[in-house]
Structures are given as structure tokens and as C-alpha cells.
């Protein structure tokens, strides 16, 4: 205890190589599943946020005689301000999605992971306790992935949304003036251009998740960080396993982000063709 970092201490870690390997697999698998589920959630949230679901305006259009006042004032002019204007524009789907995104983005991921695990999974569900590949405890791994995905979905929603909104408004105007519907505009004009911004950002989010997933050791997910804790209890070494973990995270994240940056550069070069 209290030893300086020493080479022989690293040699003492050799028997634990399998544990690091398993931790590495858990971390990567967790990050992959998180970004996948997070993407689905982000897609749903961004569709909600950008939807045109406005019940009061719908009423105004469907029954102009009765509910027209949501859209137009007494002299029949379109409202552009005031309480009724905002009520008319009120979009409950967008409101819910926005609230979710803001709550997630304004609270620590550690708190979210704990709330999901202790508040939701250990209270409401009885998760089967089997092991994936013989070493991944499902009843810890699954809540960990769910919590991270719920966190990441909020960020991915913003990535998708800002990617779509980064496309010049003139593109939509041109498409709509040719008679393309909103959906056709999205599919043929906006998405193909936005995907070049969105894909690299999603890949970067994957790198972020690899790092953030370390917090899930607090709910017993057997990831890289959990292995450091386990080895510490067994050997009373802390700095050496931590350095190994640092190396593992770095070797995962650094080449990945360089690769993403490279692909991003190549894709934007294609633009200037």
C-alpha cells in the first residue's frame, strides 16, 4: 500500500489480463448498444420536436367558423403574437420532447444512471439474472445500457435536429415550390445533404459514450472501470490498474476520433466537387 508506481506492480497485474479483456468487451458492447438505442430514441425525439402537430391550429383549420380565432383575430388577420397565437402554435409532442431533452442535458449522467437503476429497474422490474457470453451480468448490463441510451438519446436528438436545420432554407423553398411535400423534401433534399453532418457527429457521440459509460460501474456493470475496482480489492494496487484503464480508454477513443475526423474531411471535400 502507498507504493510508488513500479514496474513489478504491473507484472502483478498480468494474471488479471482476462478481467481487463472482459471489461473492455463490456465497455465496447455497452457503448455500441447505447448509441444504437440512443439513435432510435433521438430519431423519435427529433421527429417530435420538429413535427407540425398543433391541435389548436388543426381545430382552426378544420372548423374555421368555430375555432378560427386560434389563427385569426376579429378582423380576420393572421395572428403573429399574443397568448392565442402561442396557444395556436402549441405543439404538445414538441413540448414533451423538449422537456425531456432539457432535463437530460441539465443533470449529471451519474445521477441518471442511478435513478434508472435504483428507481426503475430494481423497483419495478425483476430482471432475469443470467450471463451473456458467460461473464456479462444481464441484470446490471441492461439497466446500464438503458440509462446511457436515455441520456444519449437527448444528445442525439439535438445532433439530428441541428444537422437537418443546418441545410440552407433556400433548399426547402425550392423543393416546396416544385410541389414536393414536406416529407419528400426531407427524404430527397434535406436528409441526403444533412447526413454528411449527422453521421460524424453520431460517431463522435459513440466516443463520448465509451468514456461516459465508466459511470456504470457504480451500478455493478462489469466494465473496464469495475475491473479496476476489483483488482484494487484483490491486490491493493490502484495507480497501476488505473493506468491500464487509462491506456485502454485512450486506445479506443483516440484512433476512433482521428478516423472520424479523417472521414469527415473526405466527405466535405466531396462537397466542393
Partner 1 sequence: MIGDKLIQVRDLKKYYNRGAIKALDGVTVDIDRGDVMVVIGPSGSGKSTFLRSLNLLEMPTGGSIIFDGVDITKPKTKNAEGKLVKVDIDQHRQKMGMVFQHFNLFPHMTIMDNMTLAPIQVKHMNRAEAEKKAQGLLERVGLGDRAGAYPIQLSGGQKQRIAIVRALMMEPEVMLFDEPTSALDPEMVGEVLEVMKELAQEGMTMVVVTHEMGFAREVGSRVLFMADGKLLEQGSPADIFGNPQNPRLQDFLSKVL
Residues that bind partner 1 (CB under 8 A): 60-62, 64, 75-78, 80-82, 168, 170-171, 173-181, 184, 188-189, 192-193, 271-273
Least distance (Å) from partner 1 to the CB of residue 163? 14
CB of 85 to partner 1, least distance (A): 10
Compute the least distance from the CB of residue 56 to partner 1, in Å. Answer: 13
CB 76, min distance to partner 1, A: 6
> 136: which strand partners?
132
DSSP 66-93: HHGGGTB-TTSPBP-SSHHHHHHH--HH
| Helix and strand numbers, DSSP H then E, in the chain | 14, 2
Other CB atoms within a 10 A radius of the CB of residue 218 amount to 15
Bridge partners of 137, per DSSP, are 131
Closer CB to partner 1, 196 or 211, in the complex: 196
Of 77 and 124, the one with the shorter C-beta distance to partner 1 is 77
Q: Least distance to partner 1 from the beta carbon of 189, Å?
A: 6
Nearer to partner 1, 14 or 78 (CB): 78
Which residue, 62 or 124, is less far from partner 1 as judged by CB?
62
Secondary structure (H, E, C), 119-175:
HHHHHHCCCCCCEECCCEEHHHHHHHHHHHHHHHHHHHHHHHHHHHHCCCHHHHHHH
From the CB of 166, what's the least distance to partner 1, in Å?
13
Q: How far apart are CA 93 and CA 219, in angstroms?
A: 32
C-alpha grid cell, residue 139: 441484470
CA angle 26, 29, 34 (to 5 degrees): 120
> CB of 96 within 8 A of CB of 85?
no
Q: CB-wise, 8 or 74, nearer to partner 1?
A: 74
Judged by beta carbon, residue 40 or residue 174, the one nearer partner 1 is 174
Amino acid at each position: 500500500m502507498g507504493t510508488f508506481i513500479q514496474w513489478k506492480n504491473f507484472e502483478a497485474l498480468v494474471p488479471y489480463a482476462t478481467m481487463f479483456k472482459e471489461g473492455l468487451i463490456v465497455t465496447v458492447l455497452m457503448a455500441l448498444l447505447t448509441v444504437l438505442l440512443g439513435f432510435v430514441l433521438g430519431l423519435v425525439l427529433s421527429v417530435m420536436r420538429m413535427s407540425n402537430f398543433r391541435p389548436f391550429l388543426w381545430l382552426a383549420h378544420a372548423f374555421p367558423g368555430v375555432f378560427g380565432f386560434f389563427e385569426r383575430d376579429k378582423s380576420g388577420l393572421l395572428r403573429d403574437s399574443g397568448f392565442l397565437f402561442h396557444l395556436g402554435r402549441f405543439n404538445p409532442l414538441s413540448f414533451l420532447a423538449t422537456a425531456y431533452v432539457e432535463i437530460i442535458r441539465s443533470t449529471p449522467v451519474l445521477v441518471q444512471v442511478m435513478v434508472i437503476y435504483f428507481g426503475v429497474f430494481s423497483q419495478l422490474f425483476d430482471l432475469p439474472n443470467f450471463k451473456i457470453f458467460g461473464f456479462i451480468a444481464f441484470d446490471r448490463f441492461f439497466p446500464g445500457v438503458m440509462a446511457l441510451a436515455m441520456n444519449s438519446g437527448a444528445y442525439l436528438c439535438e445532433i439530428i435536429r441541428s444537422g437537418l436545420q443546418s441545410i440552407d432554407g433556400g433548399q426547402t423553398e425550392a423543393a416546396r415550390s416544385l410541389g414536393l411535400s414536406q416529407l419528400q423534401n426531407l427524404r430527397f433534399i434535406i436528409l441526403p445533404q444533412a447526413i454528411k453532418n449527422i453521421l460524424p457527429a453520431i460517431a463522435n457521440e459513440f466516443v463520448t459514450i465509451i468514456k461516459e459509460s465508466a459511470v456504470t460501474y457504480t451500478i455493478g456493470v462489469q466494465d473496464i472501470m469495475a475491473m479496476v475496482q476489483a483488482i484494487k480489492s484483490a491486490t491493493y494496487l490502484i495507480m497501476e490498474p488505473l493506468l491500464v484503464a487509462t491506456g485502454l480508454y485512450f486506445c479506443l477513443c483516440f484512433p476512433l476520433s482521428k478516423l472520424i475526423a479523417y472521414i469527415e474531411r473526405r466527405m466535405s471535400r466531396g462537397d466542393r466537387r
